[in-house]
Amino acid sequence: MIVCRSSSEIEKLRRVNLLVAEVLAALRQMAVPGVTTEEIDRVAEERVRAAGAEPAFKGYHGYPATVCVSANEQVVHGIPSKRPLVERDILSIDMGAKLDGYFGDCAVTVPVGRVSAEAAELLRVTEEALFHGIEAVKPGARVSDIGAAVQQHVEAHGFSVVREFVGHGIGTLLHEEPQIANYGPGGRGPRLAEGMVLAIEPMVNAGKPAVKVLPDGWTAVTRDASLSAHFEHTVVVTGEGCEILTLLESDAARVRELVGRSLLGSPSRT
Ligand code: MF3
Ligand code: CO
């Protein structure tokens, strides 16, 4: 069953998702040469706890940290480490938090210093694919319309969509129904309805789609060692379309350029 949230629940989801987006915006500034991903994780945990929230990933099936940090050929679920970032890395930072019983989830992939033209294009196309997926979200649309839109955009640019991991419903659990694949034909699966809350998170490889999990049991990497990018937003289905709960006002103008309409719907935002 896919839960439709009441307006008071959506208010709580707004709060936690805004916190996640704000912390992530601070973390992405830290992604410069010489910084370790453990340092990024420490700041993430401090900021989440200072806001009265809890890390959502730490302890989830034994995951050991607040953020997932996945560099270069790492796809998702990389564990923070003492390896300093170096110029030309691309780094996915994924973070979830729980506040007042509700979860938020958001991810970005950022360049560390200057990156190759291919890496920059991979980041751009993956984020655009996320927004194409988000544009498919409206009452009456089907869950699989999201993945169809993502896949179409990714493959049109010669990149490939990871099959093994999916987006998800989110609310009082980090992972709720439905599962949201980032590929496949549209027009299938449950219909979306107002109040459903979805975490949409395409993972895109520069090379082939296949991935494997390293012996640490978490880190997913591309089998062909090609670069991989990951972007995630949490959205709520509204009467007309959707509102991105993890979109900061400072990013709204740039996103409006990308999608041609505002996805910062809430009149209650200040
Ligand atoms: N954003 C990812 C997800 O929704 C991160 C989960 S990491 C885990 O699945 F550690 F919590 F598993
Ligand atoms: Co997620």
| Span 128-177, pLDDT tens digits | 999 999 999 999 999 999 999 999 999 999 999 999 999 999 999 999 99
Q: What is the DSSP string of 123-166?
A: HHHHHHHHHHHHHT-STT-BHHHHHHHHHHHHHHTT-EE-SS--
Q: Once rounded to an integer, what is the mean pLDDT over residues 190-212?
A: 98
Does 139 map to a domain?
yes
Does 1 map to a domain?
no
Q: Once rounded to an integer, what is the mean pLDDT over residues 84-108?
A: 98
pLDDT of residue 269: 42
pLDDT of residue 257: 83
Which atom of ligand 1 is least distant from the CA of 168? 4
Q: Once rounded to an integer, what is the mean pLDDT over residues 119-133?
A: 98
pLDDT tens across 45-90, in order? 999 999 999 999 999 999 999 999 999 999 999 999 999 999 999 9
Range of the domain at 108: 7-259
pLDDT of residue 16: 98
* Residue 204 DSSP one-character state: E
Q: What is the DSSP string of 7-36?
A: HHHHHHHHHHHHHHHHHHHHHHHH-STT-B
Q: Is the pLDDT of residue 260 over 80?
A: no
pLDDT tens across 3-48, in order? 999 999 999 999 999 999 999 999 999 999 999 999 999 999 999 9
Does 146 map to a domain?
yes
Backbone angles phi, psi at 49, to 5 degrees: -70, -35
Q: Residue with the nearest Cα to atom 10 of ligand 1? A: 57
Which atom of ligand 1 is least distant from the CA of 57? 11
Q: What is the CATH number of the domain that holds 62?
A: 3.90.230.10
Does 181 map to a domain?
yes
- CB 135 near ligand 1, within 6 Å: no
pLDDT of residue 264: 65
- CB 176 near ligand 1, within 6 Å: no
Which atom of ligand 1 is least distant from the CA of 95? 1
Q: Is the pLDDT of residue 270 over 50?
A: no
CA distances from 97 to 48, 110, 171, 247 (A): 7, 20, 11, 15
Taking the CB of residue 87, how many other CB atoms lie within 10 A of it? 12
Rounded to whole angstroms, how far apart are CA atoms 257 and 160?
25
Rounded to whole angstroms, how far apart are CA atoms 30 and 107?
15
Radius of gyration of the chain (CA): 17
- Domain tally for the chain? 1
Does 14 map to a domain?
yes
8 A C-beta contact, residue 116 and residue 161:
no
Does 268 map to a domain?
no
Does 120 map to a domain?
yes
Q: Residue with the nearest Cα to atom 11 of ligand 1? A: 57
Q: Is the pLDDT of residue 267 over 70?
A: no
pLDDT tens across 219-242, in order? 999 999 999 999 999 999 999 999
Q: Once rounded to an integer, what is the mean pLDDT over residues 170-191?
A: 98
8 A C-beta contact, residue 41 and residue 23:
no
Residue 160 CA, ligand 1 centroid: distance in Å? 21
pLDDT tens across 66-77, in order? 999 999 999 999
Does 2 map to a domain?
no
